[in-house]
Structure 1
């Protein structure tokens, strides 16, 4: 009896162990698949963001083209060239013209700042922003003018020293994510004489609270000018703000005085230091360094002439071409991952000195909720850098991993489909070149090659194909299914598809140009200005297969009241992408919840 009982227990234990191992292996494979899907989604986000930054360089080249052909453009479209560049040539009015005429009414119940500012004002501002209050335009302008006054006295690079007892905290991109700044201060303490900070650019854009972040940072800087350091990023740039949302945020929150605030910010940005040097050993700069970075050149640079990374520097006396020729080839252009300069000092460095670069990014949940953590660094003299990670946690971040991955994947595939539909004509041409038998089908390898060659996104197309196309039993892809369930909406059905795709593809660039021209923010542009803008744009971007008559026809169709003007913002909004699968996804989610 005893032996039989023991044998049964051993068999039962063995069965339980096998079952546990099977469950464990299944769970590990399940987690691995989720992590792979998450990785692919992040790869899509990052690849498209990088491609967008290359698009920014195209826009920069467009403005260089405008200046290099300044005389010709002026002769053909003098009104257009004046409108395009007037915002960079105008003088900022006297402080009193802005601030003194703006009264703070008794009914205003937001934070009231007292100048000169103290630590109490920092605390007051933070608490008010936690309650989602808006700082009155009067105080915003006061802070901007005070900040600019101090920045103008500073060198291009701020030199600071640390000690074992007094370190410094370095924060990266915040991009309008106020909750991340609150979390940093909660974990690491508020700025003070004993708790200094460096904020390394990209305070604004993308997120919805860029103005609040700027105000907290600038007020903290005014209270502790020797202990809070602000470097300029590529988004401290009035043209980038037009593209990535901060301009819209300001005009929405400050409808009456938003334009004045933007004008002051445009000038203030240029006075932000380029970088910070810690203990004569560590360089903190936005966008990184290259083999040709020359600090001596950067120390001598007249930084206030760099109005935008997208537009060549120009003098305020209107002598554009002279200024361009003088600086051509010798002005560093700072972008993410790039810093070019006219001279090289890399030969002086050993190979071991390259690669000692740390990237710090402080905006968590950057692409989607749960997509990434933020971080900051603490440095002290003679000590190893310490890295701190965090993630703002909201209701969506508390969901199971598979739900978070589903949401990320859905969003990533959505923006990838939009990129695909914007190049539909080019992709069809590439597919047909590979389709030697005219069967309408390609191998997975041929399809992936065509996608990469046309879109240039460096993505694992073969792995992503199951999300994007239909495959037959032999593994061949119906390449026209690349465009299934998605289309670009257009206001006039007769307009040719090439024009629609082109306008959709370059809509952000066109909107930046329009916003510069629309100096009074009326939202309207004359038909003649639109035609002139399009001619210049298409000439530089080598837009092919589009007849000017089609552009005129489309523009005329948007002039609903026939007054000679079109609402260009509404014009671009007409070209939005329709996703049929969105409704299917919602219905699937509903069914899943019911089950």
Structure 2
């Protein structure tokens, strides 16, 4: 008996330590992700009023030729696409016939499993038809389980095709007898965003009454940033008609419904609610007008009565406020409703806010997505609010499971979990946790090193004796004041820094084994290198607004303009001569253009030990 108790105690202690490591790893990943999203929103709000910036699909539309412009019009017929765009005999991918059938959807699934591309003509026809169908839909879709046994609700997929295929394998394909609700964030992060969109849109056209798509916060030009989102979009938009594909895709996003209600009892939306959420009002306005939220808000403020948009009496401003809340908000256990400062949009809503909305509309359950959960789902607010997240291994292999919900006619949720991985299945639990922890700490160390100058200043201000050491509380306070990630710094200290014999922290040790790799070390000022590394994402966003033709190439003039905007936005001062020298150095072939993505990729934090190993 004593041995059994000892084994039990050891087992519980081990599992508790593993669970603690899992939780702080997820916390690290989420804090960095939300901080990056907040930076994106701030850059967009700053950049939108500039003369050379414009909004989303309209920006893309300006750079289309007259012939291409015709193909974006709603009146352009499918037959005209066939006349205008030829599909060569050498093309071996799926050949779609409209109206689509289940056989066409199966052909798309088979093709994407083989990593084949869909020809631009079929992509354009698919987007054209999807926009037509979505325009006829209301802002809030109302469903009933009385016509089917169960409804399947899926959360964020974020470009992870393997997860979508796993859901279809386990749960069956969408059909009249197997309806689905996909709750936003189909794109971004993963490698197959475009393939997922094509599959979901195809099933929407085949089963418009049984396939339902809600808009997520990433179905937005500001957040998904299509022209540089990665190889998944580029392999499609680099086709001859890529710019038209981009324009139509953004237009389709703007017409996605905002929410779904099942049996008048279950509300399904991407983010959450606020103390001002009004479902009746959400059905009144034209939802495409609230697209590109972050860029739209300054223009609305300027054109309104001067009051803050949350209390502005003008319809459109209030519509934007309401839409922002349902796409960006997160639940919390504390009562009340406060701004979501970590994300930079939406709010945190407590159980009292949930109760208030439920009482007003006689609801029973709120299903939302928007947040990665370790088990693929989470239940809060006394079982009334459910988070469902369908992208497994979202941050790293083994970081989380995916899940989806089956809603039966009694509206009792049943959760189905899964984890798609080619690697972690061969690892034991301890190895999987080590992999995830290593990736999380690596990302955090890079964030720390990118803020080295500010952190050292904060450390020195607290180190009154100049000993190079700080008390744990002082070190944690300095870390949070600079990074503002809301992380458990005291728990993480053993992973990030060295402790002296007296228990204090040697604060310079958090920068050991890290350095910024740069392409031309002898010609670039260290301060400029650190600035590029620190503000890579901000520079990337500003460049994307300046890159008029969405080519990914930036002229030396545009490069200088990017830097001027960046310095104005961040309030930093840069030596013009140093920037000119840097630009000329990066222009390897001296053609007057810079591959901006390649430029940013050249400046990154590297781990010295890793580089030695490689």
Superposition TM-score tier, normalisation by shorter sequence:
0.7 to 0.9
2:574 is matched with 546
Judged with a 3 Å threshold, the aligned counterparts in structure 2 of structure 1 residues 61 and 522 are, in CA distance, closer, same or farther, namely closer
1:5 is matched with none
Judged with a 3 Å threshold, the aligned counterparts in structure 2 of structure 1 residues 56 and 499 are, in CA distance, closer, same or farther, namely same
Q: For each residue in 1:102-135, what CA deviation from the matched residue of structure 2 results, as whole angstroms up to 9, or x when unmatched? A: 3222232222222211112222222222233222
Summarize the alignment of residues 184-263 of structure 1 with structure 2, pairs less than 5 Å apart.
184-242=167-225, 246=229, 248-257=231-240, 258-263=242-247
Judged with a 3 Å threshold, the aligned counterparts in structure 2 of structure 1 residues 85 and 530 are, in CA distance, closer, same or farther, namely farther
Q: How many angstroms does 1:232 deviate by?
A: 1.0
Matched, 1:534 2:526: no
Q: How many angstroms does 1:247 deviate by?
A: 5.3
| 2-structure distance, mates of 1:144, 1:484 | 50
Aligned equivalent of 1:569, options 597, 603, 607 = 597
Q: For each residue in 1:482-506, what CA deviation from the matched residue of structure 2 results, as whole angstroms up to 9, or x when unmatched? A: 1111112233445444433332232
2:70 is matched with 93
Is contact 2:187–2:218 with CA below 8 Å preserved after alignment? yes
| 1-structure distance, mates of 2:465, 2:175 | 72
Q: For each residue in 1:63-119, what CA deviation from the matched residue of structure 2 results, as whole angstroms up to 9, or x when unmatched? A: 3xx42xxxxx54xxxxx4479996156385324776543322223222222221111
Is contact 1:62–1:537 with CA below 8 Å preserved after alignment? no
Q: Which 10-residue stretch deviates more, 412-421 or 234-243?
A: 234-243
Q: How many angstroms does 1:59 deviate by?
A: 2.1
| 2-structure distance, mates of 1:83, 1:244 | 14
Q: How many residues align?
A: 550
| 1-structure distance, mates of 2:411, 2:45 | 44
* Equivalent position SS for 1:277: strand
| 1-structure distance, mates of 2:252, 2:453 | 43
Aligned equivalent of 2:448, options 420, 427, 432 = 420
Q: For each residue in 1:285-314, what CA deviation from the matched residue of structure 2 results, as whole angstroms up to 9, or x when unmatched? A: 111111122223322232223442332179
Per the normalisation by structure 2, the TM-score is 0.82
Q: For each residue in 1:165-204, what CA deviation from the matched residue of structure 2 results, as whole angstroms up to 9, or x when unmatched? A: 5331111101111121112112221111111111111111
Q: For each residue in 1:540-580, what CA deviation from the matched residue of structure 2 results, as whole angstroms up to 9, or x when unmatched? A: 3323x534444344334334455544332222122111111
Is contact 1:158–1:273 with CA below 8 Å preserved after alignment? yes
Matched, 1:312 2:284: no
| 1-structure distance, mates of 2:55, 2:166 | 43
Judged with a 3 Å threshold, the aligned counterparts in structure 2 of structure 1 residues 526 and 328 are, in CA distance, closer, same or farther, namely farther
* Equivalent position SS for 1:264: helix
Aligned equivalent of 2:534, options 498, 505, 513 = 505
Q: Which 10-residue stretch deviates more, 180-189 or 246-255?
A: 246-255
Judged with a 3 Å threshold, the aligned counterparts in structure 2 of structure 1 residues 243 and 213 are, in CA distance, closer, same or farther, namely closer
1:408 is matched with 436
1:158 is matched with 141
Instruction: Provide structure 1 residue ranges, at least 5 long, that are not aligned to the other structure.
Output: 1-16, 68-72, 75-79, 588-595
Judged with a 3 Å threshold, the aligned counterparts in structure 2 of structure 1 residues 263 and 537 are, in CA distance, closer, same or farther, namely same
Aligned equivalent of 2:20, options 31, 36, 41 = 36
Q: For each residue in 1:437-474, what CA deviation from the matched residue of structure 2 results, as whole angstroms up to 9, or x when unmatched? A: 01111122211111111111111212212221122211
1:9 is matched with none
Matched, 1:331 2:320: yes
* Equivalent position SS for 1:300: coil
Cα RMSD (Å) of the superposition? 3.1
1:70 is matched with none
Aligned equivalent of 1:442, options 470, 492, 505 = 470
| 2-structure distance, mates of 1:157, 1:85 | 23
| 2-structure distance, mates of 1:93, 1:320 | 33
1:524 is matched with 553
1:8 is matched with none
Q: Which 10-residue stretch deviates more, 281-290 or 519-528?
A: 519-528
| 2-structure distance, mates of 1:272, 1:243 | 17
* Equivalent position SS for 2:541: helix
Judged with a 3 Å threshold, the aligned counterparts in structure 2 of structure 1 residues 150 and 351 are, in CA distance, closer, same or farther, namely closer
Summarize the alignment of residues 142-181 of structure 1 with structure 2, pairs less than 5 Å apart.
142-163=125-146, 165-181=148-164
Is contact 2:391–2:401 with CA below 8 Å preserved after alignment? yes
Per the normalisation by structure 1, the TM-score is 0.84
| 2-structure distance, mates of 1:324, 1:255 | 44
Aligned equivalent of 1:453, options 466, 481, 489 = 481
| 2-structure distance, mates of 1:165, 1:395 | 38
Q: How many angstroms does 1:411 deviate by?
A: 0.3
Judged with a 3 Å threshold, the aligned counterparts in structure 2 of structure 1 residues 330 and 132 are, in CA distance, closer, same or farther, namely closer
| 2-structure distance, mates of 1:132, 1:49 | 28
2:249 is matched with 265
Judged with a 3 Å threshold, the aligned counterparts in structure 2 of structure 1 residues 515 and 436 are, in CA distance, closer, same or farther, namely same
| 1-structure distance, mates of 2:609, 2:28 | 19
* Equivalent position SS for 1:203: coil
| 2-structure distance, mates of 1:452, 1:119 | 53
Is contact 2:227–2:234 with CA below 8 Å preserved after alignment? no
| 1-structure distance, mates of 2:305, 2:137 | 26
| 2-structure distance, mates of 1:244, 1:565 | 17
Is contact 2:398–2:432 with CA below 8 Å preserved after alignment? yes
| 1-structure distance, mates of 2:197, 2:57 | 26
Is contact 1:168–1:198 with CA below 8 Å preserved after alignment? yes
* Equivalent position SS for 2:387: coil
| 1-structure distance, mates of 2:353, 2:471 | 48
Judged with a 3 Å threshold, the aligned counterparts in structure 2 of structure 1 residues 458 and 396 are, in CA distance, closer, same or farther, namely same
| 1-structure distance, mates of 2:484, 2:353 | 33
Judged with a 3 Å threshold, the aligned counterparts in structure 2 of structure 1 residues 165 and 238 are, in CA distance, closer, same or farther, namely closer
* Equivalent position SS for 1:376: strand
